[in-house]
Structure 1
């Protein structure tokens, strides 16, 4: 389940990048309003703005929702073989060994 969501997350991220790159900037609207470039558009003179804006909003919403879901799944995932946890165990055991015991060791006296 986690791997499938991760693949979908990456695809949505790439789609979001592509949608943002396709859109025209605010400065390009002035030339399009006088008829320049209107014949070269796929969606017509005014149709691309609405479609691209809505598609970008949907992709951004999916991206944020998947980010939250994946983050939640990762936070609750247990990793028993984590290398940092393994490094802490010997240090804790070493501290236990360094503490002096109140009992005197049995040492034979001559």
Structure 2
């Protein structure tokens, strides 16, 4: 059951990531309206005369939220349960301390 949840959340995560990429590439940049002012752009578009900024920006925000939530769910699903985690350095074994250099090395003349 745990493996099934992990797989489903991972699939939703990848689909949301691709959706965010596509939606960001579909949006106009800040300088895109300048070309339309000089006649190179069209006033009407697929999403209406007001443009697609509102629809695409809201869709991007929804997909980004889904992506971040699925990332957090993946962290909780893949973390070992019943064991307190000390973080990234949990399994680190310190080695013997290197000798400290209190005085600068003497250069023979």
Q: What is the TM-score with the length of structure 2 in the denominator?
A: 0.63
Question: Closer, same or farther in 2 for the Cα pair 1:66/1:12, shift >3 Å?
Answer: same
Find out whether 1:62 has 2:66 as its counterpart.
Answer: yes
Find out whether 1:76 has 2:97 as its counterpart.
Answer: no
Find out whether 1:45 has 2:24 as its counterpart.
Answer: no
RMSD value over aligned CA atoms? 2.0
**Where does residue 18 of structure 1 map in the other structure?**
22
Show structure 2 runs of 5+ residues with no match. Answer: 83-109
Contact preservation (8 Å) 2:13, 2:71: yes
The structure with more radius of gyration: 1
